[in-house]
A = this chain, B = another copy of it.
């Protein structure tokens, strides 16, 4: 069984109770075989948020991926293969309502787009977690992706 180590740096709290419940559900599902930590940055503006994010990224020895609309898109199977090929910890960075600063995008090793469409940053966190759970399921041949 392939095991992953994910960290998510995200700006702002999830204020929507329903989205928060779904996010918690996927975190719980992931916890069975994957370490997934979330660090929340207080939302202010992309520049100050970015400074805090970069401080955290500096301390991490991990492969960092910024979520931005202009990033690379993947199908779910390709995404699972892509993640499986990265050795060690993978850190995803999700901005707040105003997105990520250019500095953060440039600091990250890769830019990822979940969809060419814009979704709220709260929904982006749920979409990412669902895709991470799906990726782990695909790699470990669980039925989730075949449902």
Q: Tell me the A residues contacting B by CB distance below 8 Å.
A: 16-19, 21-22, 25, 69, 73-76, 79, 97, 114-120, 123, 126-127, 130-131, 134, 145, 147
Residues of the B chain whose Cβ atoms lie less than 8 Å from the Cβ of A19: 18, 22
* Closest residue of B by beta carbon distance from A144: B120
Q: Which of B17, B117, B127, B130 contacts A75 (CB 8 A)?
A: B117
Evaluate contact between B130 and A119: CB separation under 8 angstroms: yes
Q: Give complex CA distance A145, B22 in Å.
A: 23
Report the minimal beta-carbon distance from A12 to chain B, rounded to whole angstroms: 12
**Copies in the assembly, this chain:** 2
Residues of the B chain whose Cβ atoms lie less than 8 Å from the Cβ of A69: 75
Evaluate contact between A74 and B145: CB separation under 8 angstroms: no
Evaluate contact between B18 and A74: CB separation under 8 angstroms: no
* Closest residue of B by beta carbon distance from A119: B130
**A-B residue pairs in contact (CB < 8 Å), sample of 6:** A74-B116, A75-B117, A97-B147, A115-B117, A117-B134, A127-B127
Evaluate contact between A74 and B127: CB separation under 8 angstroms: no
